[in-house]
Amino acid sequence: MKFTTRIKHHSHEKVMANHANKKPPNVECFNEPVLTAKKISQHPLAYGKLYLRKAINRYFWQLNVPAAQS
C-alpha cells in the first residue's frame, strides 16, 4: 500500500512539473476555443435556438402542470 502511494505521488510530481513547463502553450490553446465559443454565443441564430429551447420547455412545463394537479 505504501509502495503504490509513493509511486502515485512521484507521478503526480512529474505531472505538475510537466504542467509548469507547458503552461504558455496550454493557455494559448485554451483561449482559442473560448473565443470561438464567445463568437458562437453572440451569433443570432445560436441565440435564437437557445431562446426557442427555453420557450419550448416553458410551454411543455405549462402543459404538464394541470395534468400533474388533476
Over residues 16-59, the pLDDT tens digits come to 555 555 555 545 555 566 666 666 556 666 667 777 788 878 87
pLDDT score, position 51: 76
C-alpha cell at 4: 503504490
Residue 65 has pLDDT above 70, yes or no: no
Pairwise CA distance, residues 14 & 18, whole Å: 6
Please check whether residue 53 is in contact with residue 61, taking contact to mean a CB–CB distance below 8 angstroms. Answer: no
Q: Which residues contact 63 (CB under 8 A, 6 or more apart)?
A: none
Most confident of 6-10, 56-60, 64-68: 56-60
Q: 9 or 36: which carries more pLDDT confidence?
A: 36
